[in-house]
Structure 1
Amino acid sequence: MNRHHALGPKRVAGHTDPAFEEVKAVFEAGLANGDDLGGAVAVFVDGRAVVDLWGGIADRRTGRPWRRDTACPTFSCTKGVTATAALMVSQQYGRGTDEPVSAWWPEFAQHNKHETTLSDLMAHRAGLPVLERPVSVAQAADPAAMADLLAHQYPLWPPGAEHGYHALTFGWLVGEFVRRHTGMTVGEFTCRHLGDRLRIGASGAAVREAARISSPPPEQRVWSAENAPPIPDDTVTEMLAAFADPESLFIRASSNPVASYNDPEVLSAGWPAAGLVTTARDLATFYGDLIGGTLVAPGLLREAITERVRGRDRVLCLESAFGLGYMLPSQNFLVPEPAQRTAFGHPGAGGAVGLADVEHKVAFAFVPNLRRDWLAGDRRAYRLIAAVYDAL
């Protein structure tokens, strides 16, 4: 292994297998040119750590450096962990994912939701992507209350008929399956069965020592067709309109409750769709364990990463694709060609990505704290993943 140590805010620390030097070069370039403020990238291949790098600034206000064990909010990367918790519970209790939700959550059956299945919840087909009334950060910390609120809502489309990204409600819907069977929140279940370094509900020192999320200057946050990824112009136009409309499903699904991911109250709440605070190393280790067969049976994982939906997303407006909770390569999850057929995982708002590939035996995670958007030209994770596959 090639080892080196941080000598300044732009330098990188950690280790890299010589065959994966290009991954290090891409990561170093991101810090040097300002694409990144601080962050970490980790890669396992066939269970072996080939990249474990970190660098930059963890907190722009103080200049605190990013250290080996600096954790960071990862936004929707959380969904891959929550999906795995649900699969583990399904496996333990012999619950099929195509059973009606009402079999274990009777209250959910009201308002024409009686045929909704767990797979509908996990594949974003439930028709419940928004909370129909304003919810505070304090209220969102009560998973039972959030589940009850969703049980009383009417679906926006017949469950199973279409799909649309359940940006926040995914966690309380799928999390209720975990809670009803185990008596534990997703955060508690994760801590007990997946490790206490995957924090869905961080508090105390874990929050104080976490990286602080920053945003780039306004001119670097402009969404435009010029900077957009390779998707049709009319789709980009529709998306931009949705992002600008406070009544669009996209805004309603992603901004209730209104919250800052630097707020200790938010990070301690343990939102099971967006609350994961962890390191790149621990997120990549999780995906390595997942494809290694130590968390769920290989047959169940194959079922979970089999495509359940693909096409225009009612919330995101562009193409998305899902298995059982895991996102699959699509317009909303761009990966290089070698990864397109067999990779799965989940990106998070602002650039974080957790990814695995059973065929290539790859587990990957990138965790930054400078919140960029891929429609504004963010290719940080894509370039790192491409360098990984080039090295295989």
Structure 2
Amino acid sequence: MTTVHGTCDPRFSRVREVFDRHFADGEELGAAFAVFLDGEPVVDLWGGVADRHSGRTWESDTPVLTYSCTKAVTATAALLLAERGLLDVTAPVAEVWPEFARGGKERVTVEHLLTHQAGLPVIEEQVPLEEFEDQPAIADRLAGQAPIWEPGTAHGYHALTYGFLVGEVIRRVSGKTVGEIVATEIAGPLGLELWVGAPDDVAARAARLSAGERRKPATDSGSGNGSGRGPDADPDDAGASAGLPGQGPGDPIYEMSRASLDKDSLMNRALGNPPIHRLQGGGNNPVVLRAGWPAMGAVATARGLAGFYRDLAAGRILRAETLRDATRRRVDGPDRVLFIDSSFGLGYMRPSLTFLTPAGGVESAFGHTGMGGSLGLGDVEHGLGMAYAMNKMAGAVSGSLRAYRLAEAVYGSLQVR
């Protein structure tokens, strides 16, 4: 039986119960969950193993790749520059990145990038391995593309391209990478265990990600997001589509699951390039951990990511009015890439089917999920900063409910309905 370590305020005993149950039910390998309430730590739990092969235990300071939880951190770096007058999010990207105007993108704004409205969810040419640590080179590939849809008319999750696009804008106006800004102006000064681009010593003690249910994805991207029969499955074949969740053709849940079967779907193409699977160990490879891709490269402890939201909510990173405006819903509804509804402010997710939030936080929560199940969440109204990190990746397209159950226990402990 897994021993859970750490501390939990008695008011949040139900959180400890949920965390324990996940291990008892076999849903976890190693995991951590942390909560700050009005700036004070009330939950800091961890348990299990950081590496299922070696048996190395998950410690209080074990970091792990948090995938798309990174996007909110990257958005915060951009907003810091906006507060200083270095970046106008309503202005065309081409004002700071002239090469971006190619392909009819002269009017695409920074806001379009932050809200997944740019129409650039896919890198059309496969990124070679030698470019994995050359973010400007990858960004230049995107600069040469034409949008898939008219920017500003729809939104669709830019799973990997979000980071190369926003990251290049940040580099053009500041001369720094997202990782450098996070290290020198956010995580470093605030003492957060959070890195966008992990130093060697951090990468060496990071938890190793492991697959959950062993399902062969429709694409060979190694994303862990597929739930299909394999790359040759025909999504129009009745046998391939049988048993998918949802109400059948036209239903968003059904269409999302169906797209996961199709290696050529926009969803799988968005998740599969740069092709992380070509690196030994995929997301565990040191190249990925140190590259600091601004869409999915944050390595953090749950305590560090929760502290990031604690400090955001307290106004220690951005001014209160900046955060209030940034968390205002800019887009809300069907996602062109994921099919189901998603909702975004300026880089921050708002409650929706892609950011499941307990009823008590539906109007006030913001943050970002990460592939496999990780979560970072802030709530200014309720004084919350929380994060969940783990290494047993969820296998289903819809992710898992582990983070939601923990968040529900937090809000329930506050007696927020």
Instruction: Give the TM-score, by structure 1 length.
Output: 0.93
Q: Using a 3 Å threshold, how does the CA distance of structure 1 residues 229 and 344 change in structure 2: closer, same or farther?
A: farther
Q: Is the 8 A contact 2:212 2:395 kept in 1?
A: no
By how many angstroms is 1:144 displaced? Answer: 1.2
How far off its partner does 1:376 sit? Answer: 6.0
CA distance in 2, matches of 1:219, 1:75: 20
The amino acid of 1:253's aligned partner reads A
1:230 Cα deviation (Å)? 11
CA distance in 2, matches of 1:232, 1:119: 33
Distance in 1, matches of 2:54 and 2:4, equals 19
Partner in structure 1 of residue 253 of structure 2 = 236
Task: Say if 2:356 is the partner of 1:334.
Answer: yes
TM-superposed deviation, 1:246: 1.1
1:262-341 alignment runs, 5 A limit: 262-341=284-363
Change (3 A) 1:213 1:152: same
Could you tell me which runs of 5 or more consecutive residues in structure 1 were left unpaired when the two chains were aligned. Answer: 1-8
Partner secondary structure for residue 49 of structure 1: strand
Q: 1:64–1:277: structure 2 CA closer, same or farther, 3 Å change rule?
A: same
Cα 1:78–1:248, aligned 2, differ >3 Å: closer, same or farther?
A: same
Give 1:112-151 correspondences, 5 Å limit.
112-151=104-143
Q: 1:17 to 1:337 in 2, by over 3 A?
A: same
Tell me, yes or no, if the aligned pair for 1:127 and 1:155 is still in contact at 8 Å: yes
Q: Who is 2:203 aligned against?
A: 207
The aligned amino acid for 2:187 is: G
Q: 1:376 to 1:128 in 2, by over 3 A?
A: closer
Cα distance change on mapping 1:179 and 1:358 into 2, 3 Å: same
- Counterpart selection for 1:381 from 379, 403, 411: 403
Structure-2 residue corresponding to 1:190: 182
41, 50, 58: which one aligns with 2:50: 58
1:237 alignment partner AA: Y
Preserved CA contact (<8 Å) 2:227 2:396? no
Contact 2:332–2:343 under 8 Å retained in 1: yes
Q: 1:187 to 1:94 in 2, by over 3 A?
A: closer
TM-aligned CA distance change 1:34 to 1:226, over 3 Å: farther
1:218 positional shift: 2.6
Look up the equivalent residue of 1:100 and give its one-letter code. P
Match of 1:155 in 2: 147
Q: For structure 2, list consecutive stretches of 5 or more residues without a partner in the other structure.
A: 217-225, 229-240, 277-281
Instruction: Provide closer, same or farther for how the CA distance between residues 289 and 376 of structure 1 changes in structure 2, counting only shifts above 3 A.
Output: closer
CA distance in 2, matches of 1:232, 1:366: 34
User: What is the root-mean-square deviation of aligned Cα atoms in Å?
Assistant: 2.1
Deviation at 1:39, TM superposition (A): 0.6
> Contact (CA 8 Å) 2:11, 2:413: kept in 1 or not?
yes
Check if 1:345 corresponds to 2:367. yes
Distance (Å, rounded) in 1 between the aligned partners of 2:340 and 2:242: 14
Counterpart of 2:34 in structure 1: which amino acid? A
Aligned residue-pair number: 384
Per the normalisation by structure 2, the TM-score is 0.88
**2:341–2:353: 8 Å Cα contact kept in structure 1?**
yes
Q: Find the residue that maps to 1:325 and give its secondary structure.
A: coil
Q: Which moved more, 1:61-70 or 1:202-211?
A: 202-211
Query: Contact 1:100 / 1:114 at 8 angstroms: preserved in 2?
Result: yes
* Residue identity (%): 47
Identify if the C-alpha distance between structure 1 residues 199 and 229 changes in structure 2 by more than 3 Å, giving closer, same or farther: farther
Structure-1 separation of matches of 2:288 and 2:35: 29
- 8 Å contact kept, 1:351–1:368: yes
1:3 aligns to what?
none
